[in-house]
Amino acid sequence: MKISVLSLFPEYFAPLLTTSILKRAKEKELFEFEVIDFRPFTKEKHGHVDDTPYGGGAGMVLMCQPILDALKTIRTENSTVILLTPQGITFKHEIAKELSLKEHLIFICGHYEGFDERIRDYVDMQMSLGDFVLTGGESACMVMCDAILRLIPGVIKQDSSDDDSFANGLLEYPQYTRPDVYDGKRVPDVLLSGHHANIKKWRHEMALKNTYYHRPDLLEGRELSKEEAMYLETLKQESDN
C-alpha cells in the first residue's frame, strides 16, 4: 500500500513514522508514505494558496488550483482520493478495514477557514473524524492512517487485531497481567485456570458486557446467537434490579 498526503505542513507527520510499530513497519517496507506540500504548485505570484471568500466572511479559503494541480501529479487509476472535512462520513473501524485493502490512498488536508467547494468534485470519498472542528486536517489524517496501516498484514500480529475493539462489532474484553493481586484486586480466576475454552467463553461474555454498558448502540441490529441473547438478557435483569 501507498499513502500520499497533500498538506501545507509536511513536518506534522514525522512522529507518525518515527516511533513504535509504524516505524518498524515502514523500515520493513510494508507500506509507502509520502507527504506533498501543495504550496509549490500555486500559480499565485507571492506563493499564496488561500484567498478571501467570495461573498465575504471571516477567514481565508484554500484555493482549488494548487491542491488540484498537486493531485494531478500523483493520482492514478488505482488511487482513492479522500477529502478530510466535517461534512464527510464518520471514520470507523469498518472503513479502516476497507481502506487497508486499497492500493493507493490520497488524503487532502484542509486548513484555515476551509477550501474551495469545487475540490469536492475531484475526490472519491469525504471523511470526518467526528463531530468537532480541528485547526486542520493533519491530526485527523494521522489518526486515520494509524488505524489503516496497522491492519496491513505484517504490521501487527493477526490475532492481536482480531480481538481489537470494533473488530467483531464489540468492544474488547478486559485485559490483565502480573501481579495476580494488586491492592486487593485479583485477576479473574478463569484467566489463571489454563482452560482455553472457558477463557474464550469468558472473554466473549465480557466483550458483550463492556459493549452493553458502554456502547449499547453497537448491539443494535446485531444478529445475536442464542447464547449471546441469553447472556444479554441476564445483564438486563441485573441492571433492572
Query: Catalytic residue positions?
Result: 86, 113, 150, 164
Chain-centroid distance of CA 216 in Å reads 21
CA distance 215 to 207: 11
Contact 30, 3 (CB under 8 A): no
Q: How far is the first Cα of the chain from the last one, in angstroms, to the nearest whole number? A: 52
Contact 105, 33 (CB under 8 A): no
Helix, strand or coil for residue 27?
helix
Torsion of CA 148, 67, 137, 96, to 10 degrees: -20
Helix, strand or coil for residue 201?
helix
Question: Residue 163 CB: number of other CB atoms within 10 A?
Answer: 14
- Which residue stretches of 75-195 are H helix? 93-99, 138-149, 158-162, 189-192
CA distance 210 to 137: 31
DSSP label at residue 44: S
What values do phi and psi take at 101, rounded to 5?
Answer: -95, -5
Closest CA to 7 of 91, 75, 71, 76: 71
